[in-house]
């Protein structure tokens, strides 16, 4: 049975797609049968893994609205023998509206993935930067959420909205949804702010935070324009090494989880517990995570697609 992991954070530009593409590639290289689902109408995972529009016929949109099966939408063995990709194009945005009429509107993705679950070890879903019906579908289909957290200004703002959505889905349609991990991205050890975000995240999420931190690495930013995961674009780069290390950690965690669930179901259940619920608009302060003087506890702008999160030149950044 595949482990279905939704890579989600409603904040824009935090490294969701970079993580989805490069973790999928690293798992495929490790001979894990991997399916990468592009759940974002921006289609960045689709182009980033190297699929061109000429190669795309059916898409995640068609599978979601029942025009075809997910299997029919797959591009097989993309770049690697063990990597299949379910591509997305901008028409996926329409699903946000069309699914409202769907009799199982939150469960369309789960229904689409179910027949394929035995074919893969991992299904990674790249989610869009919103908490709309598409993301709800992806989380309802997932065993776990992996949250990329950018080590930058405002990184923690809005986190409580995401956790509230996770709780809502656990209460409603997917009780088993676990937080499989928090991945610190674009880490820059020279910046106090990066170190502070990392330490705050570790304090709050404890061992759920991956030990590997993905550094800010220009090679990671360049690779998508060549339609290549970093492992093919520059395997020696620190970015490639980081994502291979994330894949190793994930595989070790999976081994541990499988061992625990066969030994003691109770322990396995405890492991899936998420942090206590926090209220929507005061994420950082209620989480007790903020840098004195830094506006990490500012209320949410409500603009879930904002990518104005990178303020490396901000006076508070060093």
Ligand X SMILES: Nc1ncnc2c1ncn2[C@@H]1O[C@H](COP(=O)(O)OP(=O)(O)OP(=O)(O)O)[C@@H](O)[C@H]1O
Chain residues that interact with Mg ion, rule: CB under 5 A: 16-17, 44
Contact 51, 58 (CB under 8 A): no
* CB closer to Mg ion, 39 vs 291: 39
Beta carbon of residue 256, minimum distance to Mg ion (angstroms, whole number): 29
Give the residue, chosen from 5, 8, 12, 154, that forms a contact with ligand X under the rule CB under 6 A: 12
Looking only at residues 85 through 144 of this chain, which bind ligand X when binding is defined by CB under 6 A?
A: 129
As given in the structure block, the two tokens for residue 167 are: 């709780």
Q: Which does 8 bind (CB under 5 to 8 A by kind): ligand X, Mg ion, none?
A: none
* CB closer to Mg ion, 44 vs 217: 44
For 267-275, the CB contacts below 8 A with 24+ separation are: 271/178, 272/144, 272/176, 272/177, 272/178, 272/179, 274/163, 274/166, 274/167, 274/170, 274/178, 274/179, 275/163, 275/179, 275/204, 275/205
* CB closer to ligand X, 44 vs 116: 44
Contact 39, 130 (CB under 8 A): no
Sole window of 36-44, 78-86, 99-107, 287-295 interacting with ligand X (rule: CB under 6 A): 36-44
Q: Is 38 in the site for ligand X (CB under 6 A)?
A: no
Beta carbon of residue 294, minimum distance to ligand X (angstroms, whole number): 21
As given in the structure block, the two tokens for residue 215 are: 């550094």
The residue to which tokens 């990709």 are assigned: 85
Q: Is 17 in the site for ligand X (CB under 6 A)?
A: yes
Looking only at residues 163 through 222 of this chain, which bind ligand X when binding is defined by CB under 6 A?
A: 185-186, 214, 216-217, 220-221
* CB closer to ligand X, 23 vs 214: 214
Binding mask 218-257 for ligand X (x = CB under 6 A): --xx--x--------------x------------------
Residue nearest Mg ion by beta-carbon distance: 17
Cβ partners under 8 Å of residue 314, min gap 6: 153
Specify the DSSP class assigned to residue 191. -
Contact 19, 244 (CB under 8 A): no
Beta carbon of residue 296, minimum distance to ligand X (angstroms, whole number): 18
Specify the DSSP class assigned to residue 80. S
Half-sphere exposure of 176 (CA within 13 A, CB side): 8
Beta carbon of residue 59, minimum distance to ligand X (angstroms, whole number): 17
Specify the DSSP class assigned to residue 223. G
Residues that bind ligand X (CB under 6 A): 12-18, 40, 42, 44, 129, 185-186, 214, 216-217, 220-221, 224, 239, 307
């Amino acid at each position: 049975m595949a482990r279905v992991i939704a890579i989600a954070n409603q904040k824009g530009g935090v490294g969701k797609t970079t993580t989805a593409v490069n973790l999928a590639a690293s798992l495929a290289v490790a001979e894990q049968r991997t399916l990468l689902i592009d759940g974002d109408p921006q289609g960045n995972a689709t182009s980033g893994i190297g699929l061109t529009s000429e190669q795309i016929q059916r898409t995640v949109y068609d599978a979601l609205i029942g025009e075809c099966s997910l299997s029919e939408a797959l591009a097989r063995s993309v770049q690697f023998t063990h990597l299949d990709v379910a591509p997305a194009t901008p028409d996926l945005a329409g699903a946000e509206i069309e699914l409202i009429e769907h009799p199982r509107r939150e469960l369309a993705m789960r229904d689409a993935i179910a027949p394929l679950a035995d074919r893969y070890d991992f299904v990674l879903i790249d989610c869009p930067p919103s908490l709309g019906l598409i993301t709800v579908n992806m989380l309802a289909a997932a065993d776990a959420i992996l949250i990329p957290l950018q080590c930058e200004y405002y990184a923690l703002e809005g986190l409580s909205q995401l956790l509230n959505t996770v709780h809502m889905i656990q209460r409603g349609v997917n009780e088993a949804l676990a937080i499989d991990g928090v991945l610190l991205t674009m880490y820059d050890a020279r910046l106090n702010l990066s170190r502070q975000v990392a330490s705050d995240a570790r304090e709050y999420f404890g061992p759920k935070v991956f030990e590997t931190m993905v550094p800010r690495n220009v090679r990671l930013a360049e690779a998508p324009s060549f339609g290549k995961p970093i492992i093919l674009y520059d395997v020696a780069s620190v970015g490639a090494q980081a994502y291979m290390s994330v894949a190793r950690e994930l595989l070790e965690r999976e081994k541990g989880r499988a061992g625990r669930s066969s030994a003691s179901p109770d322990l396995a259940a405890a492991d899936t517990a998420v942090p206590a619920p926090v209220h929507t608009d005061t994420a950082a302060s209620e989480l007790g995570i903020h840098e004195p003087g830094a506006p990490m506890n500012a209320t949410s702008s409500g603009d879930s697609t904002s990518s104005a999160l990178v303020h490396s030149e901000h006076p508070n950044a060093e």
